[in-house]
Each structure stands twice: as structure tokens, then as C-alpha cells.
């Protein structure tokens, strides 16, 4: 992420004739996927994204903090600002906006209804700045799963929800491509959750940066293998057309050839280089022209709001919106776009999934297995079963040292392993940091015949009464195995922590809320466990001073 006067004719017609199946939000014809193209579900016309990135004050991109407060402004929460901006989005022929983080506890019915009335769809990222997969410390945890499924619950029943992004530029260089294994697991589990909850089919994709060293492997990795694990669409953040460039000078010709055989829809999730200002957006004619339109499904211009990075199309001050020269240039370019595509009934997909890349110097993510599906109940059951746990007085700032120490003692950390390069994953590697540390403390304690002195770690650990947790816990933990290295096939039912979108989602949310309620009392740190490579290094040092009990 860098720091289309009316909607398209088809979208406007659909918006004008939409039926209201709810008293809350107007319906647009859902967008469906067939092969490598998007289509309107009802009339089968091919859909091309004419989009604008729409969010102020956001910085995500694969880095995550430990602060779990609301660290972003939900762009769909304030209906007055959405209504303020819709006329300007319509002047840009917008039929899609991309939002990078929403608050899943907020009701977005008014905003989604207003956007639907304007013929505008929404692609929503699932993460937030403090709840995302961190490229330097990758993990796919029960906390992140709760965040992702809450956003799905909130948005799924709006027919103008086009799709979700499970990550944005998480792996952005060869030295952090292992993180892609965790993002692909997030794609897999979000898709499974949508199906499990009985929602309509909504695509889950990924948005990548344009790094020459990894872009081909990235696209192949997320598209390869079991298609229930693979992305439904591919978003490309690309800024190589700057100023008065050309189809060949920008490299668009090479990128188009690369994606000509891709088996799912691909589009520009961000575009609009600003190294030459004002931006003239001459790439628009190429993107929707005869050479690119057969391959790409349009694109999303970065960005609506003017901020410090100088990518804004408009400047906003209170209720006043001032259009910039970039706005006028983009509107002019899009006014000349005519793209018809093909009819869904006449289209027979021929492209097949890519082959998985081989791990090497420029690619580190193993194709299979992927990290396990987060399961709150399993983590809760595990915590109940422990005789040694994390003391309430333990300082979270010392977790790194504590992990290094306990992981130096034999195989205490096998059950919390999470290595995207080797494909080694412990059953509890998706639990939160406190739960993982407690598991490791207990594993060491058990290996030392449960003598009290083995559950101390300078006061960071404490003994407690172990409980069985009932038959469900027994079954789950049997799948995990005594060493914590088994495969748990029982699937979670979600969290229900989001505000449901429309009446049809209420029952599933209530059921899910009951299933996940016990996790609310578990002490935890939400940023995940430290990278296993760091733990192993610390363990090698700490193990030298190990005291045999």
C-alpha cells in the first residue's frame, strides 16, 4: 500500500432495479467468479473493477503491533462522511472501493446501503494494523482467526460485498516469504468459515507488492495445490507506470503475459504512481484496453484521501471536499473507457492452477503442510489440562527470554512449533503467546516428573490444578497427541465477535458466540509467539546453562 459523474452503465442499471430483501440494506446483484473473470450473477455480464482505495490514516502492510486498541478509522462507520463522498466517487465512475480495516463490532448497514444505491461494491481487508500477520514474526493464531471471522460475519450478508483480502503485502522480499504460508492458511480457513456458516460464496484473495525477485513465485504459491486452500482472486499493488509511460516501458506487457494463464481473476489492487505529478493516469486506457482487458479485471486507484504521502484525489476538511488535479485527470481518463468483456454463459475457462514454487534462496514458504487451523477450544482445553502455567505476575516483556530458556530444555517446544519453511507445526502453534508459553512450561515440568521446582522459572511459572475439560476436550487433545505434534481435524465454529450484517446472519453469530465464549477469560498476548528461528537461537544459548533437576 502506498503511503469511476455516475457508476458504470451496467452497475447503475442494476442499482436502479435492485430489490430490497431486507429493511436494512439495498441489494446489488452479487459478483461471482467463473474461471479467471468476475461476472454479475443475474445477467452474466462480465464485471470490471473501476475502483478507489478509501481509507484515511491507515498503515498496515504486514507489520503488526501489540496494541490491540482501535488504531484506525473505520471508513464505513460514519454514514455522513460516506454520503459526503459518494457523489465524488460517482464522478470517478467508481463501482468498487477497497477498505483496509473496518471495526467488526459496528453496524455498517447504512453505509453499505448508501453504497449499494450508488452501484458501488466493497472489497474489505480482514486484518487491522495491530491484528495482522506480521512478516517478521509470522503466526496464524486464534486471535487473528477471531478478527477475520468477525469481519466476515459483519460484511457477508451485504450483496455489495465483493470479496475479502486475507493479507496485504505481507511477504515483500525474499527474506520473509516464509510468512506467506501463514497467509495462505488464513485464506484456507476464511474460505472454510464462509462455507461453514452458510453464507453465499464470497471470494477471498491476497494483495501483493510488485517485487521482481518474488512476484512470480508469490502468484504461483497462492494459486497452486488444493484449490480449497488457494486464493479466489489475486490483487496486484503495482506502481510501474509513472507519468507518460507506455504498455511496454511500464512492464505491463510482461505482467499481462505472466497472468494470461492465471486460473483466478487478477486485478490491480492499487495503482497510480505519483513520482510524476500531477498524475495523468494514462495507464487507464491500457488497463481497460484490448491488450489487458482479456487478462485483468480492472483496478483500484490509490487513494481517495490526500495525506502526507501525496496520493490523494481529494482534500477533505470537515464537510468540505476539494477535488485535486489528479481527480480531474482520472475522471477524464475513465470517461473514455469502454470495455464489454464476455458473457458468463459464453465463457469456458481453460486456465489451470499453477505449480507450486520450489523452496530455495528466493522462496522460503513450503507448499504443504500449511499452519493448522486456529481452534480456540483446543487452546482452552490445553490450558485447563496443565499442571504448570504462566504466573499472573509474569512480565510479558520477558516472554522472549522465557521462551529461549524453556525451549532449550529438550523438546518442550515441539507442540508450539510454527515454521513456514520446514512445514513443522505443533498443534498449539496457533494459540496465543501466553498459552504457548504455558504449554512449554508444562512440557518441561512433566519431563521433570512434575517436581515443584521445575515449575518456577524465576517466578514466571506457577503450578495449578489440572482439569480434564470433558469429553470434547479429551477428543481434541487426543488428536493433538501427548507431544502436541498431532494433526487436529476437528474444526472451530467461529467466534461470533462481530456485528452481524443483516437479519440472516444473526443465528449463526449467536451460535458461534456461544462456542467461543470460554476464550474471553484466557490471559493472553495477542501479538503471537516469537519467530521459531529466534527461539531456537535463544534456546541454544540458554540450554548451556540448563540446571538438571
Q: State residue 376 phi and psi, 5-degree precision.
A: -55, -40
Element (H, E) at 195: helix 180-196
Compute the distance between CA of residue 459 and CA of residue 443 in angstroms, rounded to an integer: 17
Retrieve residue 126's grid coordinates: 480482514
The single residue of 131, 258, 270, 307 carrying the catalytic annotation is: 270
Compute the distance between CA of residue 41 and CA of residue 7 in angstroms, rounded to an integer: 18
The single residue of 169, 283, 359, 526 carrying the catalytic annotation is: 169
Retrieve residue 52's grid coordinates: 478507489
Burial track 320-345 (b if 16+ CB lie within 10 A, e otherwise): ebebbebbebbbebbeebebebeebe
Compute the distance between CA of residue 526 and CA of residue 32 in angstroms, rounded to an integer: 35
Compute the distance between CA of residue 540 and CA of residue 518 in angstroms, rounded to an integer: 36
Beta-carbon contacts of residue 190 (< 8 Å; ≥ 6 apart): 126, 148, 149, 152, 164, 166, 204
Using alpha carbons, select from 430, 426, 425, 417 the residue that is nearest to residue 375.
430
Q: Is 270 a catalytic residue?
A: yes
Retrieve residue 291's grid coordinates: 491488450
Compute the distance between CA of residue 32 and CA of residue 36 in angstroms, rounded to an integer: 11
Distance of CA 510 to CAs 106, 107, 516, Å? 16, 16, 10
- The beta strand positions in 5-104, using DSSP E, are 31-34, 37-40, 46-47, 49-53, 96-99
Compute the distance between CA of residue 500 and CA of residue 151 in angstroms, rounded to an integer: 9
Distance of CA 327 to CAs 53, 96, 322, 333, Å? 13, 16, 10, 10
Compute the distance between CA of residue 296 and CA of residue 290 in angstroms, rounded to an integer: 11
Q: In the 3-class helix/strand/coil scheme, how is 76-116 assigned residue by residue?
A: CCCHHHHHHHHHHHHHCCCCEEEECCCCCCCCCHHHHHHHH
Do 49 and 7 meet the contact criterion of CB atoms below 8 Å apart? no
Q: Is 169 a catalytic residue?
A: yes
Burial of 352 (0-12, 13-18, 19+ CB in 10 A): exposed
Compute the distance between CA of residue 103 and CA of residue 422 in angstroms, rounded to an integer: 35
Q: In the 3-class helix/strand/coil scheme, how is 295-358 assigned residue by residue?
A: CEEEEEECCCECCCCCCCCEEEECCEEEECHHHHHHHHHHHCCCCCCCEHHHCCCCCCCCCCCC
Do 404 and 535 meet the contact criterion of CB atoms below 8 Å apart? yes
Retrieve residue 66's grid coordinates: 501489540
In this structure, the number of other CB atoms found within 10 A of the CB of residue 248 comes to: 9
Distance of CA 29 to CAs 154, 339, 405, Å? 19, 19, 57
- Report the catalytic residues: 169, 270
Amino acid at each position: 500500500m502506498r503511503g469511476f459523474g455516475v457508476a458504470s452503465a451496467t452497475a447503475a442499471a442494476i442499482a436502479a432495479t435492485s430489490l430490497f430483501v431486507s429493511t436494512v440494506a439495498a441489494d446489488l446483484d452479487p459478483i461471482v467468479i467463473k474461471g479467471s473473470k468476475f461476472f454479475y450473477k443475474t445477467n452474466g455480464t462480465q464485471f470490471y473493477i473501476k475502483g478507489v482505495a478509501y481509507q484515511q490514516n491507515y498503515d498496515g502492510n504486514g507489520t503488526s503491533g501489540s496494541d490491540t486498541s482501535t488504531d484506525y478509522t473505520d471508513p464505513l462507520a460514519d454514514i455522513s462522511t460516506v454520503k459526503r463522498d459518494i457523489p465524488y466517487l460517482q464522478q470517478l465512475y467508481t463501482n468498487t472501493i477497497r477498505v483496509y480495516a473496518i471495526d467488526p463490532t459496528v453496524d455498517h448497514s447504512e453505509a453499505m446501503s448508501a453504497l449499494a444505491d450508488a452501484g458501488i461494491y466493497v472489497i474489505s481487508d480482514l486484518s487491522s494494523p495491530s491484528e495482522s500477520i506480521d512478516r517478521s514474526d509470522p503466526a496464524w493464531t486464534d486471535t487473528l482467526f477471531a478478527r477475520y471471522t468477525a469481519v466476515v460475519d459483519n460484511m457477508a450478508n451485504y450483496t455489495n460485498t465483493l470479496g475479502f483480502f486475507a493479507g496485504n503485502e505481507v511477504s515483500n522480499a525474499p527474506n520473509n516469504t516464509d510468512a506467506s504460508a501463514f497467509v495462505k492458511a488464513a485464506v484456507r480457513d476464511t474460505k472454510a468459515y464462509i462455507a461453514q456458516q452458510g453464507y453465499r460464496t464470497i471470494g477471498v484473495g491476497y494483495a501483493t507488492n510488485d517485487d521482481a525477485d518474488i512476484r512470480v513465485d508469490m502468484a504461483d504459491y497462492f494459486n497452486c495445490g488444493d484449490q480449497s486452500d488457494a486464493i479466489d482472486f489475486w490483487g496486484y499493488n503495482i506502481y510501474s507506470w509513472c507519468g507518460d509511460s507506455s504498455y511496454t516501458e511500464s512492464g505491463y506487457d510482461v505482467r499481462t503475459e505472466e497472468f494470461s494463464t492465471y486460473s483466478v481473476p487478477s486485478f490491480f489492487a492499487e495503482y497510480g504512481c505519483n513520482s510524476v505529478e500531477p498524475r495523468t493516469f494514462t495507464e487507464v486506457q491500457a488497463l481497460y484496453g484490448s491488450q489487458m482487458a482479456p487478462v485483468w479485471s480492472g483496478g483500484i486507484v490509490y487513494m481517495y484521501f490526500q495525506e502526507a504521502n501525496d496520493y490523494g484525489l481529494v482534500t477533505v476538511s470537515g464537510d468540505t471536499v476539494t477535488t485535486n488535479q489528479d481527480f480531474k485527470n482520472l475522471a477524464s481518463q475513465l470517461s473514455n473507457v469502454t470495455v464489454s468483456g464476455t458473457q458468463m454463459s459464453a465463457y469456458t475457462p481453460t486456465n489451470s492452477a499453477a505449480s507450486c514454487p520450489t523452496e530455495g534462496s528466493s522462496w522460503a514458504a513450503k507448499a504443504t503442510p500449511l499452519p493448522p487451523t486456529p481452534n480456540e477450544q483446543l487452546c482452552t482445553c490445553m490450558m485447563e489440562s496443565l499442571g504448570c502455567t504462566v504466573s499472573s505476575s509474569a512480565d510479558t516483556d520477558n516472554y522472549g527470554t522465557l521462551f529461549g530458556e524453556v525451549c532449550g530444555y529438550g523438546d518442550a517446544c515441539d507442540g508450539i512449533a510454527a515454521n513456514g519453511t520446514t512445514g513443522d507445526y505443533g498443534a498449539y502453534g496457533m494459540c496465543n503467546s501466553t498459552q504457548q508459553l504455558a504449554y512449554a512450561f508444562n512440557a518441561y515440568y512433566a519431563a521433570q516428573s512434575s517436581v515443584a521446582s521445575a515449575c518456577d522459572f524465576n517466578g514466571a511459572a506457577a503450578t495449578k490444578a489440572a482439569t480434564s475439560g470433558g469429553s470434547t476436550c479429551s477428543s481434541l487433545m487426543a488428536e493433538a497427541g501427548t507431544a502436541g505434534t498431532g494433526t487436529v481435524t476437528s474444526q472451530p465454529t467461529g467466534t461470533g465477535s462481530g456485528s452481524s450484517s443483516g437479519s440472516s446472519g444473526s443465528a449463526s453469530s449467536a451460535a458461534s458466540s456461544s462456542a467461543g465464549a470460554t476464550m474471553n477469560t484466557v490471559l493472553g498476548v495477542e501479538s503471537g509467539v516469537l519467530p521459531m528461528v529466534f527461539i531456537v537461537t535463544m534456546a541454544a544459548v540458554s540450554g548451556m546453562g540448563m540446571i538438571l533437576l
